[in-house]
Amino acid sequence: MPELNEEIKRIREIAEGGPFTPEWASLSKAGVPVWFAESRFGIFVHWGVFTSEEFNNEWYPRNMYIKDSPEWRHHIEKYGPHSETGYKDYVERFRGEKFDPDEWLDIFARSGARYLVPVGEHHDGFQMYASRISHWNAAEKGPCRDIDGELQACASKKGMHFGISSHRIEHWWFLGNGRAFDSDIKGEFERGDLYWPSNPEPENVMDFDVHPAPSEEFMQDWLIRTCEMVDRFAPEVLYFDWWIAQKALKPYLKTAAAYYYNVMASKGLKGVIISKNDCFAPGASIRDIERGGLAGAAAYVWQSDTPICHGSWGYVKNASYKSARDIVRELIDIVSKNGNLLLNVGPKADGQICDEEKEVLLGIGKWLDANGEMIYGTTPYKLFGEGSINREEGGFKDSESLEYTSSDFRFTEGNGNIYAAAMRPSDDGRYLIRSFAKNGEDGTASFKGLIENVKVLSGEGSVKWDHSDEGLKIETDVVTDDGMPVVFKIELF
């Protein structure tokens, strides 16, 4: 374990050494890498010790210490009292014996994703990579493999950008419920221990000025863990979960950001930080909206992250899953509003990607193979879309599938063309895009240019079209029964 004071001194020297400094005025100039803005679709991976029981959701480690919760009862019935066995004993049960990074990356590449972000350390405090900071990591315990290191190597072979996520700050309280009764979390622990510090959970975990605040030692440990990931991986994406918005952490957060941007610059690379809840100043990171999105197009690039599985980010038994159709619709809507989609996969405890998620990923990839021209490298059109159905703005809005009609369209532009996706295919192959009416009242509600041709982007079937005062009328013999959006490529004179 590195000596704390010496490591903090080293980190601060790099953070303050430029070209960036730990101040919002400097960090706000970080900018968005071109590759990120053009990629539009990435894969998130939640896999760790919390998956070992494949039960309920990825907050199993916290919930198993809450009396009478489903996880509590599951643990008692299967393993006995918490005083005799606890979460640390789950580590050796997490073997990942069928983990094959090449197989994962083959599936991810075939899905059409352009970047990969596996969890580096989740709230439970177990690192999924070889670490000098704690022995509670996947290279030394459980699978005894440098999981994230292997994933990065395979991503590189596939030409996929690589990032990593940190959920460490929530560890301040994540296992603290175990101190409320006779459990294996009773007692004192030191920095580097899995159960350190296990403080009481705040009454409101969305309070960003919590008292008592995390200790200086814990925040310094958070900083050196973050910087270790930067040093290990030079990740092109550095993703943080929501609790980094804590007021007490702000000086360390700015230092971590400056360190990251400076290290990347020293390597001739340009990275991007992903964050939630406006915890960074504008421009210093990419805004992330969990399980949701925007109601209209933004002037800035943003990201939505959402799992394929309903109800859990990690794999659980007897789960239900979103369809490839619904995720493609979500992707189109997000991109039309200047966002990226980071789609989460939750592999099984043994390391296999379940058949249900594999089918969804390959279904998305099949659609993108034919229609990716609308997604990759495009930007919003002057209108994000038209129709009666739109996503409600904000996070945690993905619990129900939106019932789009064939009159609901989403637009993007790129390569000198405009792309219009019918979010639901019509039964007879006829469409009317009213936003392209010749004689609208103003330039935002009409298209007064000249259209040379309209094609079905997938290249299938014939198209007849008429640019009229009513709108762009389209007739095509492409009639699908899978509900997947149909994309029209509008070529201009």
The 10s digit of each residue's pLDDT in 24-73 is 999 999 999 999 999 999 999 999 999 999 999 999 999 999 999 999 99
Q: What average pLDDT is seen over the chain?
A: 96
Residues 120, 267, single domain; the answer is yes
Neighbouring residues of 390: CB distance < 8 A, sequence distance ≥ 6: 295
The 10s digit of each residue's pLDDT in 235-268 is 999 999 999 999 999 999 999 999 999 999 999 9
Residues 452, 473, single domain; the answer is yes
Residues 176, 239, single domain; the answer is yes
Would the pLDDT of 443 be above 60?
no
The model's pTM is 0.97
476, two tokens: 């095509």
Residues 271, 385, single domain; the answer is no
Residue 459: per-residue pLDDT: 84
Q: What percent of the chain has pLDDT over 90?
A: 94
Residues 321, 437, single domain; the answer is no
74, two tokens: 């599951």
Q: How far apart are CA 342 and CA 108, in angstroms?
A: 12
Q: Of the residues 374, 398, 433, which one is the last residue of a structural domain?
A: 374
Residues 272, 245, single domain; the answer is yes
What is the dihedral sign for C-alpha 83, 85, 91, 94?
negative
Domain count along the chain: 2
Would the pLDDT of 370 be above 90?
yes
Element (H, E) at 259: helix 250-266
Structure confidence at residue 441 as a pLDDT band (50, 70, 90): low
The 10s digit of each residue's pLDDT in 391-425 is 999 999 988 889 999 999 999 999 999 999 999 99
Residues 325, 388, single domain; the answer is no
The 10s digit of each residue's pLDDT in 306-324 is 999 999 999 999 999 999 9
Structure confidence at residue 190 as a pLDDT band (50, 70, 90): very high
- For 318, which DSSP code? T
Structure confidence at residue 479 as a pLDDT band (50, 70, 90): confident
Nearest partner of 345 among 396, 388, 309, 390, judged by Cα: 309
Residue 399: per-residue pLDDT: 80
Structure confidence at residue 440 as a pLDDT band (50, 70, 90): low
The answer to whether residues 373 and 419 touch, using CB atoms and an 8 Å cutoff, is: yes
Element (H, E) at 303: strand 302-307
* Pairing mode of beta strands 161-166, 237-240: parallel
243, two tokens: 């609790």
Residues 313, 410, single domain; the answer is no
Residue 444: per-residue pLDDT: 60
The answer to whether residues 128 and 48 touch, using CB atoms and an 8 Å cutoff, is: yes
Q: How far apart are CA 435 and CA 453, in angstroms?
A: 17
Residues 394, 369, single domain; the answer is no
227, two tokens: 């910087």
Q: How far apart are CA 286 and CA 263, in angstroms?
A: 18
The answer to whether residues 423 and 404 touch, using CB atoms and an 8 Å cutoff, is: yes
- For 309, which DSSP code? B
Here the CATH number for the domain that contains residue 232 is 3.20.20.80
Q: How far apart are CA 432 and CA 422, in angstroms?
A: 10
Q: Which domain holds residue 63?
A: 4-374
Q: Of the residues 374, 391, 413, which one is the last residue of a structural domain?
A: 374
- The tokens 């640019």 sit on which residue? 467
Neighbouring residues of 441: CB distance < 8 A, sequence distance ≥ 6: none
Region class of 23: left (phi > 0), else alpha (psi between -120 and 50), else beta: beta
Instruction: Give a three-class secondary structure readout of 186-251.
Output: CCCCCCCCCCCCCCCCCCCCCCCCCCCCCCHHHHHHHHHHHHHHHHHHCCCEEEECHHHHCHHHHH
Q: Of the residues 347, 374, 401, which one is the last residue of a structural domain?
A: 374
The 10s digit of each residue's pLDDT in 310-366 is 999 999 999 999 999 999 999 999 999 999 999 999 999 999 999 999 999 999 999
**Residue 117 three-state SS:** strand
Residues 300, 387, single domain; the answer is no
Cα-Cα end-to-end distance for the chain: 65
186, two tokens: 């009773």
Residue 489: per-residue pLDDT: 98
Q: How far apart are CA 323 and CA 339, in angstroms?
A: 20
111, two tokens: 């899905």
Residues 365, 456, single domain; the answer is no
- The tokens 């969890």 sit on which residue? 119
Residues 322, 402, single domain; the answer is no
Here the CATH number for the domain that contains residue 423 is 2.60.40.1180
